[in-house]
Structure 1
Amino acid sequence: MLTIGSLVLGVSDMPRAVAFWTAALDYVPRADADDEWTVLLPADGPGVQLALGLSESPVQEHPRVHLDLYAGDAADQAAEVERLVALGAERVDWDLYPEDPDFVVLACPEGNRFCVIDTSRG
C-alpha cells in the first residue's frame, strides 16, 4: 500500500522559500537540507512533509496542484490570511472564485498558489 510522503513545490530562491514555509506552517528543515533540495517537517511530530526543490519552471497562474491549508472557522481563516500576508504571501485576484467561497487564494513569496480554507462551512 502506498502513502503520500511529501508534497513538493518548485522554488527559485531556497532561503526565501524555507523562511516563508517554516514560519507559515511551524515546520523545520530536515538535517540534510541544502541549496537545491530541502524537506520541511512538522516541528511538533509526525505529519505531511513539504519538500522544496530548486526549479527554473515558471509559476502557473492556475496550477494543476496546490496546497489547501485548513482554518477552523471564518475568524481563524481571516487571522491566518493576515498572518501569512505579513510573512510575505500575496492575495491572488482569483478569477475562478464561486459566488460564496469558503477559501482564499494566496501566493507564497515564490508565487506558488495555495488556499486557506474555512472548514466550518462543511
Structure 2
Amino acid sequence: MRSAILNVTFDCTDARAQAEFWSQVTRWPATFHDMPGNPFWRVGEETGASLVFVTVPEPKTTKNRIHLDLLPRDGTQAEELERLQALGARVVDDRRTATPGSWIVLADPEGNEFCLEEGD
C-alpha cells in the first residue's frame, strides 16, 4: 500500500491572486472550485498533483516548513529569476555563490518561500 500526492495546499489571504501568480510561474491552468464550505483555486493539469490555494483569515507569520523547488526548463536560472521577479516574486536569499549553493530562495507575493535551482 502507498499514498500518492494529490495537492500541495497553500493557505492564503488572497487565493485567487496566489493561483494567478503560480499559474503564470508553472504555465498550468488555474481553475476556481466553489465547493460548499471550502471554495478553492486549483493550479494544475487535468491529471497529476496540483497546487491548491485556500483563503484563510490569518496572514503568514513564519518561515515555511515545506517549500517548492523550481527547475528552469526554457532558459537559464538568471532568465527565470528575471521572469519570476516580473511576476511579483522577490529574492529572500541568493545562494548561487554560497557553500552549499547554486540556488536562489524567493518568496511569492504572500511571502511563501520557494527555491529556484540551477538548470540542466
TM-score by length of 2: 0.79
Q: Spell out, residue by residue over 1:35-81, the C-alpha distance to the aligned partner (whole angstroms, 9 max, x if none).
A: 94111113xx6443001111234425432111111125xx6111111
Secondary structure of the residue aligned to 2:53 is strand
**Structure 2: where are the runs of 5+ without partners?**
none
Residue 37 of structure 1 corresponds to which residue in structure 2? 40
Residue 63 of structure 1 corresponds to which residue in structure 2? 64
Name the structure where helix makes up a greater proportion of residues.
1
CA RMSD of superposed structures (Å): 2.8
- Number of equivalences: 116
TM-superposed deviation, 1:99: 2.1
Residue 14 of structure 2 corresponds to which residue in structure 1? 13
Distance in 2 (alpha carbons) for counterparts of 1:86 and 1:33: 30
TM-superposed deviation, 1:92: 0.7
Residue 113 of structure 2 corresponds to which residue in structure 1? 113
5 Å matches for 1:17-96?
Answer: 17-30=18-31, 32=33, 36-42=39-45, 46-71=47-72, 76-93=76-93
**Structure 1: where are the runs of 5+ without partners?**
none
* Change over 3 Å in CA distance of 1:61–1:81 after alignment to 2: farther
* Change over 3 Å in CA distance of 1:2–1:41 after alignment to 2: same
State the percentage of identical aligned residues. 29
